[in-house]
Chain A
Amino acid sequence: MNQINLGRRAALKSGSATAVFGLFVAAGLVRPAAAQQAGWNQGAFSAKGVDSVVKSLGGASAAPTKDINWGSTPEIAENGAVVPVSVTSNIPKTESIAILVEKNPNTLSAVFNIPPGTDPNVSTRVKIGETSNVYALIKADGKYFVAQREIKVTLGGCGG
C-alpha cells in the first residue's frame, strides 16, 4: 500500500507535470490559448443544440416562453446569408438575449448583454444555413427562457 502511494506521489512530482496539465486540458478545466479574446465563451459558441448552449452559458435549462416579440424577423428569408432578426423580450429583468439557430454548424450566433437603462431589444442580421428553428434565449433574473420560430431559407447562408 505504501509503495503504491509513493509511486503516485512520485509520478505527480516528476516531469509528469505536463501530463497532469494535459489531463486538465482534456477535462476542460483549462482552455488552451486559442485565437480568441479573453472572456469570449468558446464553449458556448461551439455547443450544438439549445440545451447544450444553455448549459455552456451557465444555465440548467430554459423554460419555454411566449413573452418575446420577433419584430420584423421574417418567416421566409430569401437570402440565408443575411437574415434580419429582431428580438424584444417582455420578460421583466431581462439581462441578456441570445440568438440560436438550430441547423447551423454551431447553434449560438450571438449573446447581447442588456445593462440597466438599455431596452431588452436588439436587431441584427444572421446567417442561416438552411430552414431552421431560430431561438431567442433570454436570461432574466438569473433564469433562462426560450422562444422559437421557424425561418424558412430558400438560399442557404453558410457559403456553400
Chain B
Amino acid sequence: MADPMRIRAKIEGDKTVVRVLMSHEMETGQRKDASGKLVPAWFIQDVTATWNGKTVMSAQWGPAISKNPYLQFQFSGAKAGDKVTVAWTDNRGDKRTDEAVIAA
C-alpha cells in the first residue's frame, strides 16, 4: 500500500480549507529508465474527498499531475472536530484512503 497522504484541514473564516499531499510516482509513460526502457504509465486517476458522508471534491486526473500530487480546495458547512476523508485510486487499481480532523 502506498505511503499515507498528508492532509491538513483547517477552518479559515467560514470555510474549511483542505490541503493534501499524496505520495505517488505519477509516471506519464513517456519517461525512459537508465537502460532506455519506457517506464509504464502509473498515476492516480480518481480522487474523492468526503465530509460527513458528503462528497466535497472529486477529480479525475491524468499523468500530467506532478509526482507526489498536491491538492487544495475549500468548502463550507463543517466545523472544527469534523473529519475529512480523502481517497484515491490509480490506474493499476491501487487505492489509498486517509482522513484528518478539521482544526480550528
Mark A residues whose CB is within 8 Å of B: 35-37, 39-41, 45, 81-84, 86, 101, 104-106, 108-115, 117-119, 121-128, 157-160
CA distance A113 to B49 in the complex (A): 11
Identify 16 residue pairs between A and B in the complex whose beta-carbon atoms are under 8 Å apart, listed by A's number. A39-B60, A40-B60, A40-B91, A109-B64, A110-B60, A110-B65, A114-B57, A117-B75, A118-B56, A124-B69, A125-B66, A126-B64, A128-B64, A159-B30, A160-B30, A160-B31
Residues of chain A lying within 8 A (CB to CB) of residue B59? 110-113, 122
Known interface pairs A37-B45, A118-B75, A158-B28; A123-B70 also in contact (CB < 8 Å): yes
CA distance A86 to B73 in the complex (A): 10
Contacting A at CB under 8 A, from B60-104, are: 60-67, 69-77, 89, 91-93
A106 to chain B, nearest CB (A): 6
A139 to chain B, nearest CB (A): 13
CA distance A126 to B61 in the complex (A): 10
A60 to chain B, nearest CB (A): 21
Q: Of the candidates B57, B65, B92, which one forms a contact with A113 in the assembled complex, judged by CB atoms under 8 Å apart?
A: B57
B85 to chain A, nearest CB (A): 15
Q: Name A106's closest neighbour in chain B (CB-CB).
A: B62
Cβ contact within 8 Å between B45 and A123: no
Residues of chain B lying within 8 A (CB to CB) of residue A40? 45-46, 60, 91
